Amino acid sequence: MERPVRIAVVGSVDERLVADLRNLPLRPDVRVLASLVGDSDSLARQQPEVLFVGLGDEPAEDIGAIRLLQRLRPVAIVLVATADRELALAPVAERLAARLVVYPGVPGELAALLEQVLQGSDRPRPALFLDLAHGVADEINNPLLFASGHLQLLRAALDPVAARDRRDQVDAALAGIARIRTSVDRLHLLAAAGAGPRRLEPVDIPALVGNAVAGRREGEPAATVSMPPGRHEVPGDPEQLDAAMTAIVQFADELATLGSTCHVELTPLERGLAVRLRARGPGLSAWQLPRSFEPYYPQRALRGQTHGLGLLLAQTVVLGHRGQATVRRLPDDTLQFDFVLPR
């Protein structure tokens, strides 16, 4: 994997924050400093890419030091707040063009925040997308069940011989409802995955990727896939991880269908397992990295793309398992997505 991200943590923050950052599977380089002013030399030597700051009760000096640091070099600023100080620090974060994180938070929030600030993304927090997914699924579910029930009663009342054509029409409508039902189930799974795994058991990730490959349609262009031999297990929720691996393979295959060269590779790491997708081809040169995990951005960015929730689903599951989901552009214009699950 590439050079670790350099992170500095300064000021009064919960010591568990430092441990959570260091325990991310991509192993960022995390340094702890007492103050922005007193440790300015250490900051200059490390040149952090991300600065987590816990502001005290009289933050004027630290705010001035942050402004000076922003003028000297590019650095992403994250203000760390407890729940009772969130409202008070929100306007400060806005004035500093900084992100605000409430700690402790939900599983995966730090990893998602880190990915966003490194990409310069201003999209809403993933939790907002998940709330929307949950609300849409619930709103569709009841009328969907109502329509499905009435169609089934109508079909049962039709004579199989005399009303064969009408039964065929009802069957077609029921098949359409089944497809909608699948989409609603996916939204429910997406919303639930944000809270983390519902159960933990050893899950063999190469086996899940192999299942996704086996489920491909024959005769269509597909991404190449390489996996290490043997079992490579991570603790997790089998249903969620299966959906995530399937989404990654389907996204790669659709890029291949659109003419891109795509490769999915599984790589064991010291403290985790990386599922890497590399893609290069038509339309990807205009891909906006900060928007990669937005719902339906792939569908808007690439004509013909249908898996609009796939990347968001994969990211949500991986973050919920306390992993990391990142994207970067390589010098040859290749897009590289890394989904890293901790062991």
Give me the mean pLDDT over the 246-274 stretch: 91
Q: Which residue has the higher pLDDT, 58 or 6?
A: 6
The band of 309, judged by pLDDT with boundaries at 50, 70 and 90, is: confident
As a whole number of angstroms, the distance between CA 292 and CA 338 comes to 12
Please check the confidence at residue 239 and state whether its pLDDT lies above 80.
yes
Question: What percent of the chain lies above the pLDDT cut of 70?
Answer: 93
Within 13 Å of residue 121, how many CA atoms lie on the same side as its CB?
Answer: 22
Give me the mean pLDDT over the 147-163 stretch: 84
> What residue ranges do the domains of the chain occupy?
6-105, 127-193, 201-342
pTM (whole model) above 0.75: no
What is the overall mean pLDDT for the chain? Answer: 84
The band of 128, judged by pLDDT with boundaries at 50, 70 and 90, is: low
pLDDT of 265 reads 95
Find out whether 331 and 325 touch, Cβ atoms under 8 Å: no
Element (H, E) at 248: helix 238-257
pLDDT of 304 reads 59
Three-state DSSP class for residue 2: coil
Q: Which residue has the higher pLDDT, 191 or 125?
A: 191
Give me the mean pLDDT over the 202-229 stretch: 90
Give me the mean pLDDT over the 86-106 stretch: 83
The band of 55, judged by pLDDT with boundaries at 50, 70 and 90, is: confident
**Nearest Cα to 210, choosing from 190, 226, 234?**
226
Tens of pLDDT, residue by residue over 14-26, are: 888 888 888 888 8
The band of 75, judged by pLDDT with boundaries at 50, 70 and 90, is: confident
Please check the confidence at residue 1 and state whether its pLDDT lies above 60.
no
Please state the φ and ψ torsions of residue 302, each to the nearest 5 degrees. Answer: -125, 110
What class has domain 6-105?
Answer: alpha beta
Tens of pLDDT, residue by residue over 159-208, are: 888 888 888 888 888 888 888 887 777 777 777 787 788 888 999 999 99
Determine how β-strand 335-342 pairs with β-strand 272-280.
antiparallel
Please check the confidence at residue 122 and state whether its pLDDT lies above 70.
no
pLDDT of 18 reads 87
Find out whether 21 and 9 touch, Cβ atoms under 8 Å: yes
Please check the confidence at residue 124 and state whether its pLDDT lies above 60.
no
Element (H, E) at 113: helix 109-119
Tens of pLDDT, residue by residue over 133-146, are: 667 777 777 788 88
Element (H, E) at 277: strand 272-280
Element (H, E) at 94: helix 86-95
CATH 3.40.50.2300 for domain 201-342: no
Let me know the angle formed at the C-alpha of 131 by 125 and 137, rounded to the nearest 5 degrees: 140
As a whole number of angstroms, the distance between CA 253 and CA 92 comes to 45
pLDDT of 121 reads 62
SS3 content of the chain, % helix, strand, coil (to 5): 50, 20, 30
